[in-house]
């Protein structure tokens, strides 16, 4: 295996970690106005992810940094072609992070509600736009011989990409609802349980439509490999299992199953791309691949050594954080966090 291929896999792993961990963060932020009625309840919902949301975003920063160092042409083409969507994602993440820090600085209900809606918007935009971006990459982009995106912003808002955004939104909302069910107490927990069946049904319908649309409108299944088949089977079985567990009120298993669905979907997308990283819809010869978009072998070898040292430390730290803050957040205990 070449180092460029290894780093393609490592970047896929980083996005898997990001979507799994930050996915329920986004879901919690989106559900915030709907499952909490009072300021105290909203504080409980925010506190459920308070100790971990910023650490979860490290996975995105690391994925972006790894992409910049390992595949500079991929990074440059994607960030220039997706400039406006990525700018909106960045603004959403900035507003969301500021809202987490500022909402309790002033003892005023209107002040806090304003920042709560900022958390909602800052969670909603990335949840949709990440799906739009990855769906466009899978579908193929107007990339010329100079590795430049020559399409327009509105070309990115095609039906397939918008459906991809709805899929990530639905999966993240379900992920966040299941996380909250495990993390908070009544009465918020009761409201979440009332939403879970509807959330799962929406995720199931949209995911099935996305897979069907992928088979018709994209080259995702043009040359099927073993990884794709396994990922698709895991995604289907996991999502159905999540629904079964929701109906049987086994929410811990449902959270794990939905998490496996998110992981399997990301694996399916990346395995469908390989060896491309950004397929060209103009001419397949113009596509960016793990070979023509990568850095030099020397750069990749240095990065590999650094990753082998730091990644285990990050995993240990995050595991410790989740263990320390593993207890439920209730109306009586929320001030302890």
- Answer for the pair 136, 280: CB distance below 8 angstroms, yes or no: no
pLDDT of residue 336: 47
- The model's pTM is 0.92
Q: Report residue 233: phi and psi, to 5°.
A: -65, -45
The predicted structure's pLDDT at residue 328: 78
**How is the chain split into domains, by residue range?**
3-336
Distance CA 300, CA 303 (A): 5
Question: In degrees to the nearest 10, what's the CA dihedral of 135, 139, 141, 144?
Answer: 150
**Strand boundaries in the chain, DSSP class E:** 276-278, 288-289
Burial call 58-97: b when 16+ CB within 10 Å, e when fewer: bbbebbbebbebbbebbbbbbeebbeebbeebeebbebbb
Q: Is the peptide bond before 275 cis (omega within 30 degrees of 0)?
A: yes
d(CA 46, CA 272): 36
Residue-by-residue pLDDT tens, the chain, 337 positions? 789 999 999 999 999 999 999 999 999 999 999 998 888 888 999 988 988 888 888 888 889 999 999 999 999 999 888 888 899 999 999 999 999 989 888 888 889 889 999 999 999 999 999 999 999 999 999 999 988 899 888 889 999 999 999 999 999 999 999 999 998 888 888 999 989 999 999 999 999 999 999 888 888 887 878 999 999 999 999 999 999 999 999 999 999 999 999 999 999 999 999 999 999 999 889 999 999 999 988 899 998 988 888 888 888 888 888 888 878 787 766 554 4
User: How many angstroms separate the first and last alpha carbons of the chain?
Assistant: 46
Confidence at residue 337, expressed as pLDDT on a 0 to 100 scale? 42
Taking each helix axis as running N to C, give the angle between helix 188-217 and helix 39-49, from 0 to 180 degrees, rounded to the nearest 10.
Answer: 50
3-336: what fold? Formate dehydrogenase/DMSO reductase fold (1.20.1630)
If we measure between CA atoms, which residue out of 311, 312, 291, 310 comes closest to residue 70? 291
Rounded Cα distance, 119 and 140, in Å: 32
Residue 236 and residue 156 in contact, taking contact as beta carbons nearer than 8 Å: no
């Amino acid at each position: 295996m070449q180092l460029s291929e290894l780093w393609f896999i490592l970047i896929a792993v980083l996005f898997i970690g990001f979507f799994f961990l930050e996915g329920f963060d986004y879901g919690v932020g989106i559900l915030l106005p709907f499952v909490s009625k009072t300021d105290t309840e909203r504080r409980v919902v925010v506190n459920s992810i308070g100790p971990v949301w910023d650490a979860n975003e490290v996975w995105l920063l690391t994925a972006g940094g790894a992409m910049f160092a390992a595949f500079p042409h991929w990074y440059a083409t994607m960030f220039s072609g997706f400039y406006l969507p990525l700018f909106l994602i960045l603004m959403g993440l900035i507003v969301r992070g500021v809202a987490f820090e500022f909402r309790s600085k002033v003892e005023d209900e209107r002040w806090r509600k304003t920042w709560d809606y900022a958390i909602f918007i800052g969670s909603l935009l990335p949840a949709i736009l990440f799906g739009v971006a990855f769906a466009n990459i899978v579908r193929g982009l107007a990339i010329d011989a100079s590795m430049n995106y020559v399409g327009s912003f509105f070309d990115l808002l095609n039906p397939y990409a918008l459906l991809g955004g709805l899929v990530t939104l639905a999966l993240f909302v379900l992920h966040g609802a299941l996380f909250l069910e495990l993390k908070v107490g009544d009465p918020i927990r009761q409201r979440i349980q009332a939403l879970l069946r509807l959330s799962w049904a929406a995720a199931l319908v949209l995911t099935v439509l996305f897979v069907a649309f992928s088979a018709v409108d994209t080259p995702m299944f043009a040359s099927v490999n073993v990884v794709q088949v396994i990922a698709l089977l895991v995604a289907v079985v996991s999502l159905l299992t999540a629904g079964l567990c929701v109906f049987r009120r086994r929410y811990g298993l449902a959270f794990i199953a939905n998490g496996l669905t998110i992981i399997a979907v990301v694996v399916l997308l990346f395995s469908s791309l390989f060896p491309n990283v950004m397929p060209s819809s103009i001419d397949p010869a113009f596509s960016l691949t793990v070979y023509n978009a990568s850095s030099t072998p020397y750069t990749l070898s240095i990065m590999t050594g650094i990753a082998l040292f730091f990644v285990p430390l990050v995993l240990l730290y995050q595991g410790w954080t989740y263990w320390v803050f593993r207890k439920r957040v209730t109306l009586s205990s929320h001030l302890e966090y």
